[in-house]
Amino acid sequence: MSDAPQLYLMTPAGAQASALGPLLAEVMDRHPPACLRIRGGAEEEELARIADLAREIAHARDVAVVIDDHVKLAQRHGLDGVHLTDGARTVRYARKELGADAIVGAFCGASRHEGMTAGEAGADYVSFGPVGDSVLGRGAPAPLELFEWWSEMIEVPVVAEGAITRDLIARLSPITDFIAIGPEIWGADDPGLALGALWG
């Protein structure tokens, strides 16, 4: 495991495609992510528009694109895979539908057991969170000890997400593969600047 995790960028939840394009391109040009995740929260038609737009912008920059939970949208719009928000439950289904080359990630809250189950079911990465004070999780935040244990014991890459701060990035860097950032920056006047202040 390297000391420098990669940036995993999330789109604003419920975003409109028309407003998102220039914003996304600018942020990604300033801070190239390893992966772009399309958040849910919009109507399927709007998500389809966002999927096409995000794929175009991201693939032009050699960045993989996953979408929250929508296996069929991922297939239809040529995305690289899905991010499953229900832990290990649908990992096998998503893998079967999308094939061996697709990215299948699973959000597992703060549950070590759920993460291990997702990994055994074929997830390409497991995401834990929130790591900071946030409403993202179902219960308690994911403690740093979870990431420490995971990075020592488990081969499956791990993503930290939820209420990320500069201090948390410093503490998580040696024990995570990716750090997911999204809600932390999109409310700012200049999201690219906000990301730079966080990411350094």
pLDDT digits (tens, 9 = 90+) for 151-166: 999 999 999 999 999 9
Please indicate, yes or no, if residue 65 is contained in any of the structural domains.
Answer: yes
Please indicate, yes or no, if residue 109 is contained in any of the structural domains.
Answer: yes
Please indicate, yes or no, if residue 43 is contained in any of the structural domains.
Answer: yes
Q: Among all chains, which residue has been given the structure tokens 């999330």? A: 10
The pLDDT, as a whole number, for residue 1 is: 43
| CATH assignment of the domain containing 106 | 3.20.20.70
Confidence of residue 3 (pLDDT cuts 50, 70, 90): low
Please indicate, yes or no, if residue 44 is contained in any of the structural domains.
Answer: yes
Mean pLDDT of 47-62: 97
The pLDDT, as a whole number, for residue 134 is: 66
Please indicate, yes or no, if residue 178 is contained in any of the structural domains.
Answer: yes
The pLDDT, as a whole number, for residue 133 is: 81
Please indicate, yes or no, if residue 128 is contained in any of the structural domains.
Answer: yes
| pLDDT for 100 beyond 50 | yes
Range of the domain at 186: 6-199
* Cα separation, 106 vs 194, whole angstroms: 27
Arithmetic mean of pLDDT over the chain: 94
Q: Which two three-digit tokens encode residue 82?
A: 């899905």
Domain count, the chain: 1
* Cα separation, 89 vs 33, whole angstroms: 27
Q: Is 139 left (phi over 0), alpha (psi -120 to 50) or beta?
A: left
The dihedral sign for the CA sequence 186, 23, 28, 35: positive
Please indicate, yes or no, if residue 1 is contained in any of the structural domains.
Answer: no
The pLDDT, as a whole number, for residue 140 is: 80
